[in-house]
Structure 1
């Protein structure tokens, strides 16, 4: 369903998981139902935020490693230079 972008199968999967899935999966289905439209679109459309998440992770790692040691200007310079 995820790899082949078949979001239209999500409702069927949720119903099956609620009836015969393990307890953690059953509890997750209630959260999926709260925003079913967004989850279905996320499973259907080819767009991804992976590259953005990678940059955010890199910036957080830099901030943690430089915390309390350097000025904002140096942190900014390190963030803006390519890895």
Structure 2
């Protein structure tokens, strides 16, 4: 027999309606025109930038742990990447 103060964390009282939108990845890329690349003495220059886990919009804060790990863990970190590709 469980004491009257015990609440089952999987019980109905803990269910919440959760709505959320996630921006998981945004990537931008740009290839410089051939004329500009030739002026600096190369055949081509590509520039790119990317961000992962940019934002989560939710009706409750707990959704910030959007990698579906244990609720006590930290949310997935945001990461930024920049790239430059030069063709000779």
Q: Output the TM-score relative to the length of structure 1.
A: 0.19
The structure in which a higher percent of residues are strand is: 2
Q: Output the TM-score relative to the length of structure 2.
A: 0.19
